[in-house]
Chain A
Amino acid sequence: MEGMDKNKKDILAEITTLRQNPYTVPEGHFNDLKAQVKRPHKEQTVTLWGRLAPYASLAAVFVSVFVAGSLLFGRNELEITQEDYFLFSENFLETYEMEDTYRIADAEIGDSDIIEYLIYTGITAEEIEISE
Chain B
Amino acid sequence: MTDKEIIQLYSDGREEEAFNGIVDAYTERLYWHVRRFLCCHEDTNDLVQDIFIKIWAALPTFRKESQLFTWIYRIATNEVLNHLRKQKFKALISLDSASEVFCRKIDEDPHFNGDHLQRELHKAIQRLPEKQRIVFSLRYFDEMKYEEISEITDTTVGALKASYHHAYNKVKEDLLKIL
Q: A: which residues have CB within 8 A of B? A: 6-7, 9-12, 15, 17-26, 30, 33-34, 36-38, 41-42, 44-46, 111-112, 115-116, 118-119, 124-125, 128-129
Contact = CB atoms under 8 A, between A and B. Distances in A.
Contacts, number: 109
Interface string B25-52: 0011001100110010100010011001
B49 A36 contact: yes
B172 interface: yes
A44 B141 CA distance: 32
A12 B174 CA distance: 11
Contacts of A18: 117-118, 121
Contacts of B140: 12, 19
Contacts of B36: 23
Interface of B: 19-20, 23-24, 27-28, 31-32, 35-36, 39, 41, 45, 48-49, 52-54, 56-57, 82, 85-86, 88-93, 98, 109, 111-115, 117-119, 121-122, 140-141, 168, 171-172, 175-176, 179
A45 B119 CA distance: 37
4 smallest A-B Cβ distances: which pairs? A22-B114, A125-B88, A115-B89, A22-B118
Contact of A37 (B27, B57, B171): B27
A6 B49 CA distance: 43
Given A12-B121, A119-B89, 18 more contacts: A7-B176, A17-B115, A18-B117, A18-B118, A18-B121, A19-B141, A22-B114, A23-B113, A23-B114, A24-B113, A26-B41, A36-B49, A37-B27, A38-B20, A46-B53, A112-B86, A124-B85, A128-B89
Nearest to B171: A12
28 contacts: A9-B176, A12-B140, A12-B171, A17-B117, A18-B121, A22-B112, A23-B112, A24-B113, A25-B111, A30-B27, A30-B28, A34-B24, A34-B27, A37-B48, A37-B49, A38-B19, A41-B52, A41-B56, A46-B53, A46-B54, A111-B93, A112-B86, A115-B86, A119-B82, A125-B88, A125-B89, A125-B98, A129-B92
